[in-house]
């Protein structure tokens, strides 16, 4: 991230170019840093190093219920993950679902934050300025601990910078979730109340609105986690957290600083939020990882989502694609023939976010200065549903880390969804709330029906396939909307965790419908055939430009991971040969074994 480079540059300039009583850089006193606003500002830049990288964000949904991929995540295999495995800081397959540089059991960023809070007390600094910088520090401490609680549940709460003499704190056991999350709430409340910055033209810094948006995110998670994880016996506290979430989101909404970006019309606006290259993102992006080619700060979205050999070949599954509504607002799955509708037809007249999320129809890419029709390619996609959400439409960016489009940490669309869900879970969601949130998001996506009044009828597909325990049609629709609007932004795994729907991680990896073997299919209706499926013997003569996929039960004596559900027709299926197994112990990651050996007071999470 750009700030990681700026931090080192600025600190060097600070210590060599400022009047710090002529102290050399290597022996600068605390007062040199904590005794001036410039020193506080430069120190505070180091907090941003604890945020996820741009690649973390666009890759983290690699382990989710809507993702088919090259391999089954080790975490979801029956014997693929253990407390010893979790010590490995280079987990394969980008299965890391806690974001930030201390993603595992690391505590370095916390000490840096606590040290700042302890020492930000110089009398030369005005009280409101000190509170502002302590508010920033507490924002990042809330970030640090929220990620830890999401991943591990109970963790030790430490609010001072430890040294080797603090043995009681260094070797303490975990504190209760309630104590830690109350402390997180206190920190984020302090940040909301004391951060003075109200706007940031660069969209890269924490402001008061960012603090409130993050509070809404935290409180929605904790409120729904307590509501649905009844084994915690904290259901009676869920509404308090949900109220905090709705109030915090409404604060942001009432400022009228951010709005949904609609400047490119329903065909392009949604995707432009994610592919805008200009240094300052559009009105919807609240805070982002800003790229800078001159500083070699780039990310790899194109490389990851176009290369057959890089990343895990993220492919959406058909069960999820089916949740995109028709343009008139009716469920696509209300069509009695939806299960046998072929790709070129199923993508028509749908929520326009679909065409801005996957390759379909008239999608084109720039190659050699020419716009070229570009269907999904089966040298990359396992299912036919190839993502484009974060990818730039120029093949130049497809090799190495060349992407220069910002990756958002916070955007206004999420704020609207957090507000809607919190109010719905509280039972206080009105038609006006619906129009302001879900209706607005769907209108931006070109949907024409059901924008002003909340639904009264359950969609049986959403209930049967995803949430059999939910009978409230409003909650079902908000969850549909959240999946579609926020896909590939790093939320899905922990949404499943807080809704207590880990079982969805076992969902079949299915793809587009194939009506028959040996018949090439034109996926984007450009007059060129793209893909055909055969069993054992490839058709001869082969059609030029067609990718041929063998769906025989075995290939060279090995079970074939790609099949058709009905053998000679039906939906594609991928990697049914490798079982994914959900167990409730996986709502928390195991405490890494090496750390329990160092500190025997740490209790292992149940089941591990």
pLDDT tens by residue, 222-243: 999 999 999 999 999 999 999 9
Residue 97's pLDDT is: 54
CB 601 within 8 A of CB 171: yes
Mean pLDDT for the stretch of residues 201-205: 95
Residue 95's pLDDT is: 55
Contacts of 247 (CB under 8 A, 6+ apart): none
Mean pLDDT for the stretch of residues 500-522: 98
pLDDT tens by residue, 96-130: 554 556 767 889 999 999 999 999 999 999 999 99
Quick check: 259 pLDDT over 70? yes
Q: CA-to-CA distance for 435 and 447, rounded, in angstroms?
A: 13
Contacts of 172 (CB under 8 A, 6+ apart): 156, 599, 601
CB 291 within 8 A of CB 2: yes
H runs (alpha helix) in 60-176 = 108-119, 127-152, 167-170
Residue 94's pLDDT is: 47
pTM above 0.75, yes or no: yes
Phi, psi of 288 (to 5 degrees): -145, 160
Omega before residue 541 within 30° of 0, cis: yes
Residue holding tokens 């931090």? 7
Residue holding tokens 């199923």? 346
Mean pLDDT for the stretch of residues 213-229: 99
What structural domains and CATH numbers belong to the chain?
Answer: 1-51+100-196 (1.25.40.890), 522-574 (no CATH)
For 288, the enclosing helix (H) or strand (E) is: strand 285-289
Q: What percent of the chain has pLDDT over 90?
A: 88
Mean pLDDT for the stretch of residues 314-340: 98
pLDDT tens by residue, 427-472: 999 999 999 999 999 999 999 999 999 999 999 999 999 999 999 9
pLDDT tens by residue, 142-198: 999 999 999 999 999 999 999 989 999 999 999 999 999 999 999 999 999 999 999
How far is the first Cα of the chain from the last one, in angstroms, to the nearest whole number?
35
Q: Which strands sit side by side in the sheet containing 510-514, from one edge to the other?
A: 510-514, 570-574, 562-564
Q: How many contiguous H segments (helices) and E segments (strands) does the chain have?
A: 21, 13
Q: What is the mean pLDDT of the chain?
A: 93
Residue 242's pLDDT is: 99
CB 475 within 8 A of CB 425: yes
Q: CA-to-CA distance for 226 and 100, rounded, in angstroms?
A: 24
Q: At what angle do helices 127-152 and 177-194 cross, to 10 degrees?
A: 150
Bridge partners of residue 350, in order along the sequence: 326
Residue 123's pLDDT is: 96
H runs (alpha helix) in 296-437 = 301-306, 318-321, 343-346, 412-426, 431-436
Residue 230's pLDDT is: 98
């Amino acid at each position: 991230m750009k700030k990681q480079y700026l931090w080192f540059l600025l600190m060097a300039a600070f210590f060599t170019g400022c009047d710090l009583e002529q102290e050399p850089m290597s022996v600068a006193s605390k007062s040199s840093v904590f005794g001036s606003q410039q020193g506080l500002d430069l120190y505070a830049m180091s907090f941003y190093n604890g945020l996820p990288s741009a690649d973390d964000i666009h890759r983290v949904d690699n382990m989710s219920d809507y993702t088919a991929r090259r391999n089954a995540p080790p975490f979801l295999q029956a014997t693929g993950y253990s407390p010893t495995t979790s010590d490995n800081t280079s987990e394969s397959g980008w299965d890391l679902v806690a974001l930030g540089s201390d993603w595992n059991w690391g505590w370095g960023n916390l000490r840096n934050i606590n040290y700042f809070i302890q020492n930000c007390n110089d009398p030369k600094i005005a009280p409101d300025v000190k509170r502002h910088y302590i508010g920033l520090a507490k924002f990042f401490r809330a970030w640090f601990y929220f990620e830890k609680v999401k991943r591990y549940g109970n963790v030790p709460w430490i609010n001072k910078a430890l040294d080797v003499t603090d043995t009681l704190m260094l070797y303490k056991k975990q504190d209760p979730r309630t104590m830690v999350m109350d402390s997180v709430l206190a920190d984020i409340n302090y940040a909301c109340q004391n951060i003075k910055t109200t706007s940031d033209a660069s969209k890269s810094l924490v402001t008061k609105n960012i603090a409130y948006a993050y509070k809404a995110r935290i409180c929605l998670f904790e409120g729904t986690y307590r509501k649905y994880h009844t084994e915690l016996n904290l259901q009676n506290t869920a509404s308090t957290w949900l109220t905090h979430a709705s109030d915090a989101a409404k604060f942001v909404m009432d400022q009228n600083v951010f709005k949904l970006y609609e400047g490119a019309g329903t065909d392009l606006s949604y995707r432009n939020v994610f592919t805008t290259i200009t240094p300052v993102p559009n009105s919807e992006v609240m805070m982002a990882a800003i790229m800078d080619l001159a500083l070699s700060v780039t990310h790899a979205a194109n490389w990851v989502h176009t290369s057959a050999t890089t990343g895990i070949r993220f492919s959406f599954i058909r069960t999820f694609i089916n949740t995109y509504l028709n343009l008139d607002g009716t469920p696509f799955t209300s069509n009695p023939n939806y299960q046998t509708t072929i790709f070129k037809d199923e993508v028509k007249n749908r929520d326009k976010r679909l065409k801005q999320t996957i390759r379909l129809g008239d999608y084109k890419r720039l190659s050699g200065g020419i716009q070229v029709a570009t269907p999904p390619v089966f040298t990359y996609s396992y299912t036919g549903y190839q993502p484009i959400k974060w990818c730039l439409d120029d093949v130049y960016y497809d090799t190495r880390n060349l992407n220069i489009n910002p990756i958002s940490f916070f955007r206004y669309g999420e704020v609207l969804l957090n507000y809607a869900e919190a109010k719905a879970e509280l039972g206080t969601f009105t038609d006006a709330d619906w129009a302001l949130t879900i209706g607005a998001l769907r209108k931006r996506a070109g949907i024409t029906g059901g924008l002003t009044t909340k639904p009264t009828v359950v969609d049986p597909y959403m209930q049967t396939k995803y949430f059999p325990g939910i009978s409230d049609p409003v909650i079902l629709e908000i969850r549909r909307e959240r999946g579609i609007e926020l896909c590939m932004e790093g939320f899905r795994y922990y949404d499943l965790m807080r809704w207590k729907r880990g079982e969805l991680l076992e969902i079949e990896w299915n793809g587009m419908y194939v009506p028959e073997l040996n018949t090439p299919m034109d996926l984007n209706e450009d007059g060129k055939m793209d893909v055909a499926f055969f069993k054992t013997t490839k058709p001869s003569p082969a059609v030029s430009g067609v990718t041929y996929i063998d769906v025989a039960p075995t290939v060279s004596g090995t079970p074939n991971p790609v099949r058709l559900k009905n053998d000679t027709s039906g939906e594609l299926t991928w990697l049914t040969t490798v079982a994914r197994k959900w167990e409730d112990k996986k709502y928390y990651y195991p405490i890494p074994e090496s750390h329990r050996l160092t500190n025997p007071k740490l209790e292992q999470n149940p089941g591990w």
